[in-house]
Structure 1
Amino acid sequence: MSETEPPRSEAGERAALLGVPEFGVSRLLLVATGSVSTADLPFWGTWLRTCYPDLEIMLALTRSARRFVTPTALHGRINGEVIPDTWPEDDPRALHVELAEWAEAVLVYPATLHFTARLALGLADSPALLAAQCTKAPIVVAPALPPGGVDSPAYLAHRSALAARPNVVVMPPRPGISVTTGRPGAWAPALLPHCLEALERLRDARDPGSREETDVSGAASEASA
């Protein structure tokens, strides 16, 4: 490390050692929707727990997401809790308020066109969706789209609406293979590490002091060692 480079925090050193993006968030609200890519979440959950052992995750599964992955498959793979993205019955708590206040960042991964549209239109008919509408935390949306979806007027309009929000980034989806036709044309979500990088950039842009505080803390730890 050169003398001009700021010292890394302990988490930053671990990320550099593992070759993964540095991620300064401690509490992540991860929302999974009804895309076939949701079936990959057990893999990504294990990756997150391995690379970011101090990251606490609240994973909200929509009803349609549970067609592709079960809470049982995710328990133990993330450092946190798996919850249904539904309003609890006979519970006096305001779950959406708890989620919005708890989360330092929000990642919708993967995001169906339906969920992307609901978020862009300001709908708030589930706890995670209402939390995302109300939070000031950085939000990254990683769409997974069917053939023709990426160029559809509906998606383009919703993407533009979300891009106009100061705390939201919509990740470009990746070309994929349709599980229905077996042909190219479908769109897979951006790789999860790239989404973390986008969240970190958005967090730094909205709060430049956050990284400085982390660096100062890391420097103090090194000085006292």
Structure 2
Amino acid sequence: MAFSASPHCAPPLHRFGLRRFPPPQPPLAFMRCPFFSSSSRPVYFSPAPTLRIIVSANSKKPYSGRSADSTSASAIDFLTLCHSLKTTKRKGWINHGIKGPESIADHMYRMALMALIAGDLPGVNRERCIKIAIVHDIAEAIVGDITPSCGVPKEEKSRREQAALTEMCKILGGGMRAAAEEIQELWLEYENNASLEANLVKDFDKVPSCG
């Protein structure tokens, strides 16, 4: 039985540079591991994701997803740099010979918890306090924990930390500009003691410790 073309039929895909995709694969494939006997337990694995390229009828180049790749790369580079906050021990603890000194990340996390459990205070945004606590020493991922015992003038310490923060935000801003700008704003707010929230977090920073 022959079929004639209908004016209501969709035009051929090749006219728009489109290709039909193969049918989607099931979410899980099943196999038995060849290194064990046939009676061994089955092994489940997820197949590699199929790359899908979307082509517009009016576009000349396919969308490559570069923006998403840039965002992921920026986040990974930034978090990799921040990893040193977990491994760098605070100088005050070391100078006092205390066993098991806390890291910079330990200190920042403790301050964030203090902000979290603090009671409601008139005119104070507790969520912002938590954010400030999380980022207030973030520049030390590059410059380390500079204390008075290091003999670095206060102005020089501030200059080094500002330069480090700018570099970190530049790395993150490659794909996550809004997040980078927020971190810089929070850090400067704390550094300049420019709000009630910053003032409260500075009080948390003075809670007895060896930092």
Is the TM value for this pair above 0.5? no
Q: Normalized against structure 1, the TM-score is what?
A: 0.22
Q: In proportion to residue count, which structure has more strand?
A: 1
Q: In proportion to residue count, which structure has more helix?
A: 2
Q: Normalized against structure 2, the TM-score is what?
A: 0.23
